[in-house]
Structure 1
């Protein structure tokens, strides 16, 4: 897993973005516990991708938003893009035992929309629709299910570590089953969110999903959801850690990566289908975000 710290905007917490690595799945699993290399220099921050933190043993604390939460066995923190995690201290997780799982929507398959908030077409992602300074959603895994959760995440970690034949399919399957578990635990919360909490964000990501293949600007998205561009910018950045234009570009990049990996279309055709009428601009944008050209990406990611 490789991330990049985005430039700071005023006094907002830092945002870390997932940096795609050629040939690797956008899924990471890592043990959580006491870490000598973590100290107060690890600033308050958010991610622009979703994650889970599951603990099977008591111990330590988790700092989310402005809250300090004592970790209990069975705790499951659902970390939405934009959720602010507090400044970490070295001894925060002394005694804790758990796993962190982070991913992007790409990992769920080629039919998953690029926007993590596109819950209308992939309901397993809906528990991650929230986000902001309020902190991660805290759920509780029942005692009877905790061994299964631990085994599932350990199996996911093992597949990612050893990359045996078929590991991509295995990783996707394990991740989907984890998200099914999250959705079931969060059923009441999700129902409330669906009805009340984020209608604006749902509209914004619907517009992006429907129109990313054509010219689309912040002003046009704002007009479609009937609010001012300034208000839209501040709301989306506060909730997700990324700008509207950033999400438009990300949706286009998801489509481009899929076409590069699964078709033999010329780069110019892929650029057009991903919403870039200028193939040169597409190549420069792709290279800036991925560290290599579209053809280079294709050479190491052909399915």
Structure 2
């Protein structure tokens, strides 16, 4: 997993963006705790992709938003795009043992909405749509289920590390089961989240989800949700760490990667389908985001997926 740091504006924390490499499964597992091989220090930041942090053993603290929380056994943090994780020291998690699991919309298939607040209607992703309003959602895994959680995450990590035959299907299955478990735990806490959390942002991301294949500007999104472009810009940046235009481009790139990987459509046709009438501008935008042209990305994807 290689996340790209986006330069913050003003007093905003940094945002990290994950653009999957060609052929890469957009799923990562990292160990959490305090040990010689684990450096838990990090700056205050947010991600534009979702993740969870699960702790099987207590110890130390985590900083989410402006809150400092003592880690207890069974703690599960559901980290939505835009949730700010506070600056951490390397010894914050002394005694704790746990795992972080991160992924992008690409990992759940071609039909998964790419705009993150459009996830509120998705049965596995609705816990990840709170968008920084309250910090990471904290849930508790019951004691009787903790061994199963640890085993599931370790199995997911094992598949990602060893890449045996069929590992892609195995990773997908483990991730789906993990998200099912998250959704079941979250159901009682955020039962009305699909409709009521961050209603303005949900409306904004609905507009992006519906209209990203066509020309779409900040002013047009603002007009669609009946607020000023300035207010929309400040609200989205405050809640997610990114601009409206960033999210429009990200949604287009998600679909472009899907079409490059799954079809033989010409690159120019793919660009037009995802909102870039000018093939050259599409190629430049894709290259800036991914470090290579759409044609090269497709070629490497096919080689790495074989």
Aligned residues: CA RMSD = 1.5
- Is 2:118 the partner of 1:118? yes
* Residue-by-residue CA offset, 1:211-263 (whole Å, 9 max, x unaligned): 11100001101111111111111111111121111111111111111111111
1:46 matched residue in structure 2: 46
2:272 matched residue in structure 1: 272
Q: Could you say if the C-alpha distance between residues 203 and 133 of structure 1 is closer, same or farther in structure 2, counting changes exceeding 3 Å?
A: closer
1:194 matched residue in structure 2: 194
Extract unaligned runs of 5+ from structure 1. none
Extract unaligned runs of 5+ from structure 2. none
* Residue-by-residue CA offset, 1:83-115 (whole Å, 9 max, x unaligned): 111111111111101100011111001111211
CA distance in 1 between counterparts of 2:189 and 2:11 reads 30
1:28 matched residue in structure 2: 28
Q: Secondary structure at the match of 1:11?
A: coil
Q: Secondary structure at the match of 2:98?
A: strand
Of residues 166-175 and 270-279 in structure 1, the stretch that sits farther from structure 2 once superposed is 166-175
Matched ranges for 1:1-303 at <5 A = 1-35=1-35, 38=39, 42-132=42-132, 134-302=134-302
CA distance in 1 between counterparts of 2:245 and 2:23 reads 26
Is the 8 Å Cα contact of residues 120 and 195 (structure 2) preserved in structure 1? no
Of residues 121-130 and 43-52 in structure 1, the stretch that sits farther from structure 2 once superposed is 121-130
Q: Secondary structure at the match of 1:15?
A: strand
CA distance in 1 between counterparts of 2:295 and 2:67 reads 46
Q: CA deviation at 1:54?
A: 0.1
Equivalenced residues, count: 302
Instruction: Tell me the TM-score normalized by structure 1.
Output: 0.96
Q: Secondary structure at the match of 2:190?
A: helix
Instruction: Tell me the TM-score normalized by structure 2.
Output: 0.95
CA distance in 2 between counterparts of 1:301 and 1:272 reads 21
Of residues 153-162 and 165-174 in structure 1, the stretch that sits farther from structure 2 once superposed is 165-174
**Which contiguous aligned blocks of 4+ residues in structure 1 show a shift greater than 4 angstroms?**
none
CA distance in 2 between counterparts of 1:136 and 1:55 reads 14
Q: CA deviation at 1:183?
A: 0.8
